[in-house]
Amino acid sequence: MGVIVSGAPHFRRNRTTKGIMLDVLIALVPATVAGFVYFGWRAVFTVALSLVASVGTEVIWLLCRKKSLKEIVSQFDFTSCVTGLLLALTMPAFEYKYFYIPILSAVFAVGVAKMFFGGTGKNIVNPAIAGRVFAFISFQSAMVSGWMVPQFASLSGINAVSSATPLTAMLGDGLGAVGVSNLDLFLGTGVMGCIGETCKLALLVGFVYLIVRKVIKWQWPVIYVAVTGLLSCALGKSMGYFLPSILSGGLLLGAIFMATDYVTTPNTKLGNLIYFAALGVLTGIFRAVSGGEVVSYCILLMNVTVPLIDRFIIPRPFGYEKKEKVKKEAR
Amino acid sequence: MAKAKETTLRCVTTLAVIAVVCALLLSVLNSVLYVSATPDDLIGLYSAVDGYEWEVVDVNDDQPYSGGKVILVAKGTMDGKDDYLGLLVQTEKNGKLNESTYAMFINMNTDALEYAAFVTEGATGGFNWQYAKEHSKSGDQVSTGATALTGLLSGDKSNSQAAWREWESFYGVITDQTALDYTDAVPAKTGATRTVTATYDAFNIVARYYYDNFVKGE
Amino acid sequence: MKAKDIALDGLFRQNPTLKLVLGTCPTLALTTAAMNGVGMGLAVTFVLIFSNAIISLLRNVIPSKVRIPAYILIIATFVTITRMVLNKFLPSISASLGTYLPLIVVNCIIIGRAEAFASKNPVLSSALDGLFMGLGFMFALTLMGIFREILGSGSVFGVKLWDFSIGFFVQPAGALFTYAIFIAVYSLVYSAFLRAANERKNKDGLAVKGARGNA
């Protein structure tokens, strides 16, 4: 079982890593189903390969570490399922000839980013993010041009942007080039994108479920998204950028499901505030500079800074009272 | 005190001796290992002369040229096609700009200078010749050399010969200042200005060389 | 110092790349292709042999206060000679190594061996140490180059094997990853050897402390 490190006081609850991971999986169901509906069998294919490869990598690794199959089954905590599913949701629905991309990325995500560092709870970066970045720099052509137009047409009747995702179009040519309405972006109709990031409604349903189950705190994703949106407005010098910038690309998926990963976030409230605000700032700036989607890179970058944040922001011990400052008497 | 001085003296002497020996060794090896230009250096630069057979012509270095020297002259032939003269010109080191080598191709039937290219660039920043051409103040070519170059590039023998003659009298007219005007619109890069100067030197040298050895006598 | 020990140290026990972790800059930057590893390895070997020999020859002449500048002078001379030789005879390799060739001057392996070995040992041993350290460097770089080239470009020594390639491995991130994997595998093999050697000696009632010297 993974150990969750947090500031004092420590409460005991009947929550296990397994239970939390199951909740995350349930919260991802709407987005996954939406992806299947929008992108069809190719999405199912990508998700299935990624899941099988993730779980397979973990099992094979544990077998190599001389654990018995029985032990592995009883200790299985679904983290590799979450990794595999999240990884697939951040990828486009691949053509069948690209079968190796989800497999290799999942092997990299679970094998290198998680198991090499000691398994569940010990990874420095979010494995799914590492897997996506690996896929992105390794198979750039397939990851960038492999976009598929969803099976549902845009509600506003505009043809889907055929060459670039709405985000890259907006970053490149300004607001007018988005090509789809905010409602389209919200529902994902007629919008090209990764399997899981297209339908924002489904992601928000998952978000609400996670809040109700108290798996994550609602403030953190909201801070991340809001900072990114406001910064985009500031850089674009128009409030009209707010909705398109938060509704396009992988921002919501990243903010809700990936940036909030327990293992790779700071332990303290102040630390989290810094972490999520910095994520928003980085995403806003890098999007404007690079003209592409950068959420995964930003999360990866901030993941690495977490130990540093934890080192400098030390939680106040429970019951500790601030000493009143005593003025030095003049001699 | 005397001991310390002695040690210092010994340190300095040792270093000096090692440095002198190393420098001597390198200067001897430099002359042994010097890579002289071969016609192979002309291959692959200009598509019109692909597949040509190159034969080295002795460089006539009776006259020194300022700014650099011709290091290779080769005559290129191919059945059924015009003869070409390929020249390699090396310009001198100029401050932070190292020696640059240019290849120039002259069609011997029309006397037209058809193509010029960098073989090695002396500038560290990398000089964008095409950009300089497009953004120069006076259009396509710097004004002083424009007439001459138009003639050279025309492909017409009489025009070209006239141009070579004229260029010969232009020698020295194209100065650092014109080169500076030329680079005004070019983004600052290490050695850009000097690259332009060197390029003009190279053109001047080739013009003079070709005129002296191939046009004058006719 | 036995020649066999020097050879084993350079190639395996004290491998400059995998055990001493010296000269990492060219290791990370140049191993995108196998041929680069061979070229760089040979250049470093050449420099190492001669710089080690000369420094060993002068080890009683050079005052210890100015030994580092003196080493640098000698090393720089041989690096310049290497550049001139490569320029003359193997211009393509010289072009692909680019700026890393003159940077051999500041390569830690060379100054490290000068300081740790050549300044204390006779000429012949020092030259041998240079040879085998250089070869150890070359083998490590070439193996890493082969690994990265096959995975990252789908070719080996420039010969195309297939169209499939994983871009990660020819990028800097892949360089660090590959280096880590190689060090891990090396450590596995090395400790297995040590264990085997210890067991053998224990039978004879002798314990081995491990390899001579330390990094």
Measured CA to CA, the distance from residue B43 to residue B76 in angstroms comes to: 10
What 3-state class would DSSP assign to A53? helix
The stretches of chain C forming alpha helices (DSSP H) are 3-8, 24-30, 34-57, 67-89, 91-97, 108-113, 123-153, 172-203
The whole-number average pLDDT for the span C106-134 is: 89
Which residues, 6+ apart, have CB-to-CB distance to C121 below 8 Å? C1, C56, C129
Model pLDDT for residues A91-116, shown as the tens digit of each residue: 888 888 888 899 999 999 999 988 88
Chain centroid, CA A85 distance in Å: 11
Residue C214 belongs to a domain: no
Which of B108, B12, B120, B127 shows the shortest CA–CA distance to B68? B120
Residue C212 belongs to a domain: no
Measured CA to CA, the distance from residue B88 to residue B102 in angstroms comes to: 6
Q: How confident is the model at residue A292 (pLDDT cuts 50, 70, 90)?
A: confident
The widest CA-to-CA distance across chain A, in whole angstroms, is 83
Which residues, 6+ apart, have CB-to-CB distance to C146 below 8 Å? C34, C37, C156, C157
Which of A74, A77, A60, A170 shows the shortest CA–CA distance to A111? A60
Contact across the interface for C167 and A140, Cβ inside 8 Å = yes
The stretches of chain A forming alpha helices (DSSP H) are 17-39, 41-64, 69-75, 79-89, 100-107, 127-138, 140-145, 166-173, 182-187, 200-212, 219-236, 242-247, 251-253, 269-290, 295-312
pLDDT over threshold 70, residue C16:
yes
Nearest CA in chain C to A116: C181
Percent of chain B with pLDDT over 70: 58
What's the confidence (pLDDT) of residue C146?
Answer: 93
Residues, chain B, total? Answer: 218
- Mean pLDDT in chain B? 69
For chain A, which domains are there? Answer: 17-150+164-312 (1.10.3430.10)
Q: How many domains does chain C have?
A: 1
Q: How confident is the model at residue C21 (pLDDT cuts 50, 70, 90)?
A: confident
Angle, nearest 10°, between helix axes B143-153 and B176-183? 90
Q: Which residue has the higher pLDDT, B171 or C205?
A: C205
Residue B136 belongs to a domain: yes
Q: Which residue has the higher pLDDT, A183 or A8?
A: A183
- Mean pLDDT in chain A? 80
The most confident of B80-94, B139-153, B200-214, by mean pLDDT: B80-94
Residue C208 belongs to a domain: no
Contact A131, C166 (CB under 8 A): no
Model pLDDT for residues A190-242, shown as the tens digit of each residue: 677 788 887 888 888 899 998 888 888 888 899 999 998 888 888 877 777 77
Measured CA to CA, the distance from residue A204 to residue A182 in angstroms comes to: 15
Q: How confident is the model at residue B172 (pLDDT cuts 50, 70, 90)?
A: very low
Which of B85, B144, B92 shows the shortest CA–CA distance to B114? B85
Interior angle at CA A322, CA A316 and CA A327, nearest 5: 145
CB of C183 within 8 Å of any CB in chain A? no
Q: With a CB-CB cutoff of 8 Å, which residues 125-164 of chain C face chain A? A: 164
Q: How many domains does chain B have?
A: 1
Q: How far is A116 from chain C (nearest CA, A)?
A: 11
Residue C215 belongs to a domain: no
What's the confidence (pLDDT) of residue B20?
Answer: 94
Residue B64 belongs to a domain: yes
Residue B89 belongs to a domain: yes
* Ordered DSSP codes for B124-178: SS---HHHHHHH-TTTTS-HHHHHHHHHHHS--HHHHHHHHHHHHHHTTTS-HHH
Model pLDDT for residues B102-120, shown as the tens digit of each residue: 788 887 877 777 777 767 7
Of B15, B26, B35, the CB nearest to C80: B26
- CA torsion through residues A57, A62, A68, A73, sign: negative
pLDDT over threshold 90, residue C181:
yes
Model pLDDT for residues A120-178, shown as the tens digit of each residue: 778 888 899 999 999 988 887 777 665 666 666 555 544 444 444 566 666 655 555 55
Contact across the interface for B18 and C73, Cβ inside 8 Å = yes
Q: How confident is the model at residue B166 (pLDDT cuts 50, 70, 90)?
A: low
Show the domain range for B110.
Answer: 39-215
The whole-number average pLDDT for the span A285-298 is: 82
What's the confidence (pLDDT) of residue B108?
Answer: 80
Q: With a CB-CB cutoff of 8 Å, which residues 53-112 of chain A face chain C? A: 100, 104, 108, 112
Q: Which chains touch B (3 or more CB pairs under 8 A)?
A: C
Show the domain range for C83.
Answer: 3-203
The whole-number average pLDDT for the span A311-329 is: 69
Q: Which chains touch A (3 or more CB pairs under 8 A)?
A: C
Measured CA to CA, the distance from residue A66 to residue B56 in angstroms comes to: 72
pLDDT over threshold 50, residue B179:
no
Q: How far is A8 from chain C (nearest CA, A)?
A: 37
Q: Residue for token digits 């959420």?
A: A295
Whether cis (ω within 30° of 0) applies to the bond prior to B187 is: no
Measured CA to CA, the distance from residue C192 to residue C190 in angstroms comes to: 5
Model pLDDT for residues A229-275, shown as the tens digit of each residue: 888 888 877 777 778 778 877 888 888 888 888 888 888 888 889 99
Q: Which residue has the higher pLDDT, A155 or C31?
A: C31
The whole-number average pLDDT for the span C32-57 is: 90
Q: What ipTM is given for this predicted complex?
A: 0.77
Of C62, C81, C85, the CB nearest to B14: C62
pLDDT over threshold 90, residue A70:
no
Q: How confident is the model at residue A11 (pLDDT cuts 50, 70, 90)?
A: low
DSSP A185: H
Residue C112 belongs to a domain: yes
Sort residue A87 into left (φ over 0), alpha (ψ -120 to 50) or beta: alpha
DSSP B97: B
Look up residue A146 and give its two tokens: 């492999």
What's the confidence (pLDDT) of residue A328?
Answer: 60
pLDDT over threshold 50, residue B175:
no
pLDDT over threshold 60, residue B10:
yes
Contact across the interface for B33 and C88, Cβ inside 8 Å = yes
- Range B174-201 burial, b when 16+ CB lie within 10 A, else e: beeebbebbbeebeebebbbbbbbbbbb
Which of A50, A39, A24 shows the shortest CA–CA distance to A196? A39
Measured CA to CA, the distance from residue A306 to residue A265 in angstroms comes to: 6
Element (H, E) at C160: strand C159-160
Residue B4 belongs to a domain: no
CB of B14 within 8 Å of any CB in chain C? yes
Q: How confident is the model at residue B143 (pLDDT cuts 50, 70, 90)?
A: very low
- Mean pLDDT in chain C? 86
Model pLDDT for residues A27-43, shown as the tens digit of each residue: 888 888 888 888 888 88
* Ordered DSSP codes for A190-201: T----TTTS-HH
